[in-house]
Chain A
Amino acid sequence: MHPVAPEPPRPERGRTAGERPREVSEAQQAVETAPTWTARAIAALNPRFLLSQADGYPVGIKQFLQFCLVLVYPAWLFCVLLYWPLWVIGKVLEGILWVLFWPVRAAFSGRR
């Protein structure tokens, strides 16, 4: 019979997604923490922000995604410039749907 070794320490467990700090790239952090709407749009125009969207993917796939993101960069610039008018159009559409669906909400809301 072998001598009994002392008990090994309990191995450290990992952390769940909720317990981990959020991982965002510097470029994305700059967009999220920009104080004003214009500063935010300018930070979003930085090509590093677009390239950082491929972060975390396996090697190969990441480079392919970055290649695709470079291709769509002009379209991305166009979208950022159109952001404000698109947002306004979206809000108008939301308002129209809100009025249109008023009777449906009135009929179905609540338990009574």
Chain B
Amino acid sequence: MSTDVTIPSFPQITGHREAKKSRVIRDNLWRAAVLVALVLLWAVLSSTTDLVASPAASLNALAERFADGSIYRHLDATLQAVAIGFCIAAAIGFPLGYVIGRSKFLGAVFDPLVAGAFAIPRVIFFPILLQIFGVGVGAQSAMAALAAVFPIMVSTTAGVRAINPLLPKLARSLSLSPLQTVTKIYIPAMAPSLMVGIRIGFSIAFINVIIAEFFAARAGLGLQALRAYGMLDLPTMYGIIVLLAAIALAGNLALWAVERRLGEKA
């Protein structure tokens, strides 16, 4: 095939990279400003009531916990429970959501059940999990898994259904192997919804681990916060709240950034 023809090409779209860059800087400055305002608000509140510890005292208390090493056991327990719980939820939720999304029959059976069960406050099952796993990271992880499996499943199902129906046909016409069809068509096509599932699954797993730790735990940041509160050690309690907020924010922001990058490609 020769290509010695010239065709009128489409006009090129020139980038507005400079403008975009300055907008990013501006947005980040405003984000920082909002955070600073929130801390200031906290400081003002703490000076008006004894129920709120000051930011300085809280960060100080938190730093002490890190310095004497007593926080690590709790940090470990919480993060472990979130990680294990999330992994179990992902291992069950992704394949299950995928299968329900692909099959008309399974969709008809499970759609209303999943949608309905989504509304059940899953934490109500925690006493049962405690009986099964005993007090410890096992029960916390199971709680996180039980809670996170639903959003992961639902977004995976939605993702499969949103796939352009021509793409499986294209895969067949190009003789893709089943493995190639999944890795080269399904996973990349579904990537944005998979990321939504991961992000929401992570948040829900985290929330449920902390709630579960309030109930019964041997170690964990939730347990520590509750204990500090019981001992009226408000600076420690607020310090742990800051730590929890920081972990949630960092984790979610990282996932959100990945999600946005995938979204831009779409």
Is the A/B pair a real complex? no
Binding site for B on A (CB under 8 A): none
